[in-house]
Structure 1
Amino acid sequence: MKKVLKFMKKKLYHLSGYLGAFFLPILVVILAFAGRGIAPLGDHNLLVSDLATQYFPFFNFLRMQLHNGGFSTYSFLFSLGDNTIPVYTYYLMSPLNLLVAFVKSAQIPLFMEAIIMIKIGLISLSMVVFLRVKEHKFNWRQLVAGVAYGLCGFVSMYFYDFMWLEALMVLPFLTLAIDRLFQKGKWGWYTFTLLVAILLNYYMGYMLCVYSVIYFVYLLLLHQPQSMKFWAYVKTQGTLLAKYIVSSILGGALSAILLVPTLVGMLSTGKGSLDWTSFLPIFRFLPSDLLSLGVGATNFVGRLNHEPSLFVGSFFALGMLIFWFSPKIKRHEKRASAWLVGAIFVGMLIATFDTVWHMFQMPAGFPFREVYMLSFVMIWLGYQAWRRGAFSQFQVVKKAAGLLALLITIGYGSAFLEIRIARALHWATPFYVTSYWNWLWSMLFILLTVAAIGISQRQPRWWPLLLLVVSLEMGTNLWLALGGTHEYGNQNQFVQKYNRSAQLVKMAQDRHRFTRLDVNNQLYVHNFNINYNQYNDSLLFDFYGVNSYTSSLNVHTHDALTKLGLYSRNERRVSVRGLTPVTAQLLSVGRQVDISSTGKRQIKTTPTNAGLGYAVSDQLEHLHLANNDVYGNLNRLFQAESNSKTTVFHPNVVQLLQAQKERGQYRYRVRVTAAKPGMQYLDLQQVSPNQKLQIRVNGQPIQSRYPQNGAELIELGYRNAQEQFTVQFMSNRKLNQHDLQTTFASYQGQAVDRFSKATVPYQLHVDHPDRLAIHGNHFTGTVKTTQTRPVVLISIPYDQGWTITDGNKPVKMKKAVNGLSQVRLNPGTHRLTFRYQTPGLKAGFLISLVGLIGTGLAGWFWRKKRTVRRNA
């Protein structure tokens, strides 16, 4: 009985420690959130940055899928339609995300905050489990490392993209698995951990594969006999190397069932091309990064562009230095640790390696995504120094403290100089220093940490003082990281406006026929204190639109729309901005819904714009859109589909009146003479792309739902033929008279209107169009063709995953309009069946099957080898 009680007491002791490791950092987060008025102890929500524009819509999409009992591999809620597998595998693979099925849509912002807290707790717990396995016992002091890891600089700056946080949970287990492989020759746990890492987020899984190589080399250095050279030692480890390489390949192969279709899908995005300049061996950051060793180096304002977030708290930054300074740590351990730290650090410092770290693509925002690995290593080394008595040498502690203070001071001094040099030379400064006053906070926490170390060394029972100081410092850093912004939303107001918007958009839809909506929902936009562009609102309010913002956006969608004058800031975004009657017909945008900030709704319907496609002239087969010629592309598109020579966009006569330079920008005033009566357009995509133009027509600013940027066609109002008007706009570039001649045009749309009406009998009518949101991978439709209209132009992005049958006869889909789809049919009425098979899914399944067989064979072979060795 006593043994049972003793066993139960031990288990409760461990359980209470693990619960502490999980809940303590969550408590720190709650207090930091409360300090910023963020729920659950405030009125604000975290609908900022990617949480508002991507994660909330994607979570709502997942919620809809769960409530409808299935996961469609294709959905028409993503812009013109898109493969959903890359969205699932990049954003939504965490098992925790499935809990979204149990909350209402308007409560998802609070749900995301809860998920962030749970993940931070699990990150802390993973570090504690790692140290417990390393030490072969649980120790309450491990909680200090858990809190530091759960709230390290990476977490405080990157939790807005919380899909990456799983990688921090997996990293300690992956490290243990490699240890197990190296020391015991047991490879199964490593293969499984690598598989889990890739499945949870293939992007971070790839980074962990790179870390795996670095850590394996570290183990070789750590165990290298002093009497043997490194490469000679490596040659003696042939069996171990074979196990490592084979088990790594098996881990990747087993994940292929999701990894291959994801990679195929991502290769069809604008990220498929490489930028050779990102591989140049230049420095990615300067000495100012040293200030990030201290508290409060960066806040919300600098989240997209900053230097590596090295912050792990003063205690573990000191601990890493003490590890290298202390004579209690063996020389070969220091040498091996220098490789481990140096390989990761240099991998961030040199652009060539950093680009490789980031899957051969330099990240657009949230840089240095591998820095959490360095945080993990720093904390682990610091903890080793602490537990092995290196902190008992107080002279070493003071030496490390002096060096840490000096490094942080150098960082702030460098930042001061770098910013002023950059301003003088008009360079962009990617690093944002929150406040130079934070240098004082950093010095204060170093002093507090040194004092706590001194007290705990004299009185070991006072070690919880270190836990208190570390928790306070990590919480302060998170609180400072949340600062610098007034963009947080009001949750109570959000619930009301979201529910009202959902009701208004639902009532504006007509799901009896397929048509896309152009929704301008200012009621919902006014929920945000950010520049909210309504990119993924179709996922929030369940309607078919054009807008989309996702890292997996089909490149064909992007190319076709941008060449026709629609807005795109980069390869991840497209928008309905820049829509013209020609593109509205092409994309079946048949209803414009305007919802004012007070909730008043206006609907403008174009009855002829319906159907997922329509039959056109065979001249479309010869159409190719040109770069930097939007008006010409629109004219060629209309002429090809209607088999006419009618020009609908006519160049205007432009006279440059004034060009004045102001603070690095140019203010232009031009006189425009309308060539034809009708809507006048401005196109600056070629000469001034993606700039805020501040347009005025005849001295009056033009009305627009968004700031006018030089990346889409912009309406300037109706004008009569030969009517003159003046236009003022800003540009970062110096323009001449020749540049301006191609920027203004008149639209004359009578021929387009006649063609749209004549096309109604030849539209592709989809059966049950309301199902395309959830079951977009399989649908049927009817279309009529004639000898003069033999080609069906379909507003679906071209994708090799589609197969189309006419009755039982397969029909070949071809690319049209540089990115959409077309099929050629004989005259008559056709019943078309569309089926989508995710590209790469079959190949991925076969590779995973081979990997599964290979895993079984490897297990049998190595087990048999051990048995033979024992018998011998």
Structure 2
Amino acid sequence: MHLPFARSESSRRLSGFLPALAAALVPVALLAGLYAAQGVAPFGPNSLFFGDMDGQYSHFLASFSELFGRGAFYTWHKALGGEALSWAAYYLFSPFNFLVLLFPTSQLPTAVTLLTLTKAGCAGLSMQLFLRRRAGSRLSVPLSWAWALSGYLLGFSQNIMWMDALIALPLIAWGIRRILEGRSPWLYLVSLAAGILCCYYIGWMLCLYSLLYFVCGLAAGDAAGRKLRVSVRFALASLLAGGLNAWVLLPVAGALGQGKAQAAMEWGFSTNFSLPQLLGQLFAGAYPAGQDTNTLPLVFCGTLPLVLAALFFFRPGALRPKLAAGGLLACLLLSFWLRTPDLIWHGFQSPSWFNYRYSFLFIFTLLELAALGGKGFAERLPAVRQFASAGAVALLLACAWGFGVVSGWAAVLTLCCLAAAALLLAMPRRRAAGLLAAFCLAAELTANGWSSLEAFEPSSSTLPQLTKQWQSTVEELSAQAPSARMQLTEGGQNTPFLLGYNGLSHYSSSYSQTTYELLRALGCTGTSGWMAWSDGLTQSAASLLGLRWQLSGTASGQWQQQDDVWENPCALPLVVAAADIESERLALDRPFDNLNQIYSTLLGEDAGILHPIEAGPSVQSMEAGADGLHYTATGENAALHFSLTAPVSGVLYASFPVYDQYCGADVFVNGEVAGQTLLQQENGTVCLGQVQAGQTITVELRPQDDTLSLGGWSFAVEDSQALATACTRLQQQSLQVAEFAPGLVRGTIRVPEGCTALFTSIPAEPGWQVLVDGETVAPETAWDALLTVQITPGEHLVTLRFTPAGLGLGTAVSLCSLGAAATWLAARRLGHTAQKAPRSSQKTL
């Protein structure tokens, strides 16, 4: 007797499960097909490592396992060392990254493909769950495909950590709808807290949009009669979501304030682009992000969603919801167009390279309106209203074609999809029409995906080869001296993370500006945001920074070569006793004077390592500007000539600070190419070769273009013997490290008479605690960048321990927020129980 009912219940559950399954698996299948066609791993030799995925995220993912322990708070892999929480929160806190642990580093291209597919599928699933409850299940599946394969996901796919926001946002919006309906706030609280934690940078955009979305709901009349109550509930849930993440937010905000947050803002009322240009972004073939710094907002999600969203406004019904939705769309469009609101969305920072990172919010709003517009299928609308939406999209396409912002193939494809949408409008109850529209949408999304991948030009990654060639060497050298530094001269700035060594180079949004300025002042190559190794670095600078090994490349001076590994016998240990230290910041354009000053201060006497050569240029076929630093070519063979006479025997170095990234020069020594090019990205010291005392050398700078802008010039000869003598003395009074870990150095040191301080090559960041013989000693700063501490002669036990500044306060706030959330939950449950009790008593009576 119960069998028919059981079948009916089973069928009902299956009907709810299959749409969710289709929403998740169809985008995965389509995207996997695109990757297979492009030969992306595991389907071929290519990878998704283009742009920042190649230079940053892939290397960071390789070190994901280091987050389980002290590695979450400090790392020795970035620019001499630095706090790690901001780096981890910025790039690695997605729970999907645990998939990486299933693959060896050499198989990371395959792991990243799997990560991307998994996140796309989960994005489609979360969107389908939201749309099904928001507007019914009929269109939730194809619209979820448009979300999971939108222009944003494909264009920003290399920024894999941002994709978590596409999973979190539908759940956040669903939670807000529940609050507006007077129901539980827990879905909103938990999903917003997870969104902030998993994608720290995009989390700000999720918070700001949540506020706008809630206000839009109030304006639409979705909380009639209970505005105050739901507003308080929304505000409290929002504060608790932020408070639960305070253990991350407070330390990370402080850390970013030392680097990225120091960048100057460009406020104003200027516009970012011409409005007609935005029309082309609504259709397939929009240029993907990462290929051009002036990329327009990536808002493509298909033709069918555009038609249905327009139908929402043409349907009969209350005016308030339409005005509220139109206001939200207008707010996002104005944010794209105007400079100031665009900066606000980007956390009051000018985005570097990837513009309009919040454009997924526009897509989400459009798809929600499309789902609501699809409700009109159940209504008998006049033909004029039905086809006005398709006509509006056709008008947009015509305008885009007229302005030349849409390609021919994209226009033809859009017309085909527009015809399918019109057929669906004409026969909304015919399943064949719905299937045709869904098929056309899938084809359109696939075609746009192919166009995006073609623009990125997937190619094979060098990461597996680097790992195979150098991993065992790095492990062997690290076992010899765990606290020593090394540097691979190939593979990008983040190979220390990839191979797990203590390095000098780094490139990310998490950096210390004072550390970068110190490295540049010593002759390293870099600009704001990244620091790179240069073959022209003096051995005195490498020794001071504790660089013991150079992997690959060439080295000058007394480096000892064995195969492709160069060892520096002059490298200083991490901590040495010094005669004195100074606190003043070093000048950026005087690396040789800076090195002499540091060594002489540490030794308490003139070290005599770098011998300067005073020289001015003779100008050939160039006209000098008023400041004598900017030159314009006036004829052929334009060049600056320097005639130098070596005061001692040694290695000759030059420094030519270049601050214009578009104006470079080639360096020649005695008519031969020196092997280095001057550019803003390669502005470190230049090695000009071995010289003998009294030898005369001619150095030429030949501009690559018609102009050349220099920050100055200086030359010096490094006395290798004097360097060896100075470093040997400092090495003899160094810390004998007994324990070395991320953010922890412990050992003993015998401080000789005449020494008053411990000098370290560790960046001085807030959070370091210094113990000398068990007693806390206030840390100080050497040359405004490096950690140092005052000490007395004798034998001492020294401990250096790092804890992120703000972690204690942030943890306390998070625990209080957790307690408040638990109390709130308990109070609501007690309230519900109390409400049910009288009803139960009444039924009993």
Say yes or no: TM over 0.5.
yes
Given the alignment, which residue of 757, 761, 764 partners 1:791?
Answer: 757
Task: Give CA-to-partner distance per residue, 1:765-801, whole Å, 9 cap, x none.
Answer: 3225xxx4xx313331222322322222101111221
Task: Give CA-to-partner distance per residue, 1:76-122, whole Å, 9 cap, x none.
Answer: 12231122212222211121211222211111111111010010011
1:650 is matched with 612
Cα 1:166–1:670 shift into 2, 3 Å:
same
Quick one: distance in 2 between partners of 1:224 and 1:24?
33
Number of aligned residues: 815
Quick one: distance in 2 between partners of 1:179 and 1:806?
57
- SS of alignment partner, residue 295 of structure 1: coil
| 8 Å CA contact 1:679, 1:715 repeated in 2 | yes
Quick one: distance in 2 between partners of 1:716 and 1:171?
56
Of the structure 1 ranges 667-676 and 196-205, higher mean CA displacement relative to structure 2 is found in: 667-676
- SS of alignment partner, residue 484 of structure 1: helix
2:684 is matched with 712
Quick one: distance in 2 between partners of 1:391 and 1:712?
72
Pairing 1:176-187 to 2, within 5 Å after superposition: 176-187=174-185
Residue 13 in structure 1 maps to residue 15 in structure 2: yes
Quick one: distance in 2 between partners of 1:708 and 1:370?
30
Q: Displacement of 1:707 after TM fit?
A: 7.8
2:558 is matched with none
Pairing 1:515-534 to 2, within 5 Å after superposition: 515-521=484-490, 525=491, 534=492
Pairing 1:232-271 to 2, within 5 Å after superposition: 237-268=227-258, 270-271=259-260
Cα 1:520–1:276 shift into 2, 3 Å:
closer
Quick one: distance in 1 between partners of 2:391 and 2:655?
59
- SS of alignment partner, residue 489 of structure 2: strand
Quick one: distance in 2 between partners of 1:543 and 1:142?
48
Structure 2 stretches lacking a partner, 5+ long: 555-561, 624-630, 840-845
1:195 is matched with 193
Q: Please, what TM-score do these two structures have when normalized by structure 2?
A: 0.89
Residue 801 in structure 1 maps to residue 767 in structure 2: yes
Pairing 1:766-845 to 2, within 5 Å after superposition: 766-768=737-739, 772=740, 775-845=741-811
Residue 51 in structure 1 maps to residue 17 in structure 2: no
1:552 is matched with 510
Cα 1:673–1:665 shift into 2, 3 Å:
closer
Cα 1:680–1:398 shift into 2, 3 Å:
farther
- SS of alignment partner, residue 44 of structure 1: coil
1:332 is matched with 320
| 8 Å CA contact 1:166, 1:200 repeated in 2 | yes
2:565 is matched with 603
1:752 is matched with 723
Q: Displacement of 1:727 after TM fit?
A: 1.3
Quick one: distance in 2 between partners of 1:726 and 1:405?
64
Quick one: distance in 2 between partners of 1:809 and 1:668?
63
Q: Which letter maps to 1:557?
A: T
Cα 1:295–1:214 shift into 2, 3 Å:
same
1:536 is matched with 494
Task: Give CA-to-partner distance per residue, 1:141-196, whole Å, 9 cap, x none.
Answer: 32110100101111011111111111111111111111111111532332222211
2:597 is matched with 636
Residue 290 in structure 1 maps to residue 279 in structure 2: yes
2:640 is matched with 670
Given the alignment, which residue of 358, 361, 372 partners 1:370?
Answer: 358
Two-structure CA RMSD over aligned residues (Å): 3.2
Q: Which letter maps to 2:39?
A: G
Given the alignment, which residue of 723, 728, 732 partners 2:701?
Answer: 728
Q: Which letter maps to 1:715?
A: C
- SS of alignment partner, residue 779 of structure 1: strand
Given the alignment, which residue of 337, 344, 348 partners 1:349?
Answer: 337
Quick one: distance in 1 between partners of 2:758 and 2:429?
83
Identity of aligned residues (%): 22
Q: Displacement of 1:29 after TM fit?
A: 0.4
Q: Displacement of 1:499 after TM fit?
A: 1.6
1:481 is matched with 452
| 8 Å CA contact 1:214, 1:343 repeated in 2 | no
Q: Please, what TM-score do these two structures have when normalized by structure 1?
A: 0.86
- SS of alignment partner, residue 783 of structure 1: strand
Q: Which letter maps to 1:213?
A: L
2:559 is matched with none
- SS of alignment partner, residue 482 of structure 1: helix
Q: Which letter maps to 1:536?
A: N
Cα 1:138–1:315 shift into 2, 3 Å:
closer
| 8 Å CA contact 2:504, 2:531 repeated in 1 | no
- SS of alignment partner, residue 489 of structure 1: coil
Cα 1:642–1:314 shift into 2, 3 Å:
same
Q: Displacement of 1:332 after TM fit?
A: 2.0
Task: Give CA-to-partner distance per residue, 1:482-501, whole Å, 9 cap, x none.
Answer: 113545116xx864553233
2:124 is matched with 124
Cα 1:864–1:779 shift into 2, 3 Å:
same
Task: Give CA-to-partner distance per residue, 1:413-433, whole Å, 9 cap, x none.
Answer: 5567xxxxxxxxxxxxxxxxx
Cα 1:191–1:155 shift into 2, 3 Å:
same
| 8 Å CA contact 1:804, 1:834 repeated in 2 | yes
| 8 Å CA contact 1:673, 1:723 repeated in 2 | yes
Quick one: distance in 2 between partners of 1:438 and 1:474?
13
Quick one: distance in 2 between partners of 1:49 and 1:473?
25
Q: Which letter maps to 2:112?
A: M
| 8 Å CA contact 2:664, 2:677 repeated in 1 | no
Quick one: distance in 1 between partners of 2:785 and 2:380?
63
2:113 is matched with 113
| 8 Å CA contact 1:319, 1:385 repeated in 2 | yes
Cα 1:709–1:378 shift into 2, 3 Å:
closer
| 8 Å CA contact 1:588, 1:613 repeated in 2 | no
Given the alignment, which residue of 361, 375, 382 partners 1:387?
Answer: 375
1:468 is matched with 439
Quick one: distance in 1 between partners of 2:395 and 2:653?
58
Q: Displacement of 1:622 after TM fit?
A: 4.6
Given the alignment, which residue of 18, 23, 26 partners 2:25?
Answer: 23
Quick one: distance in 1 between partners of 2:458 and 2:158?
13
Quick one: distance in 2 between partners of 1:444 and 1:840?
56
| 8 Å CA contact 1:593, 1:601 repeated in 2 | no
Q: Which letter maps to 2:764?
A: Y
Task: Give CA-to-partner distance per residue, 1:666-717, whole Å, 9 cap, x none.
Answer: 5851221224244333333255468543434344333359988452222233
Structure 1 stretches lacking a partner, 5+ long: 226-232, 417-434, 526-533
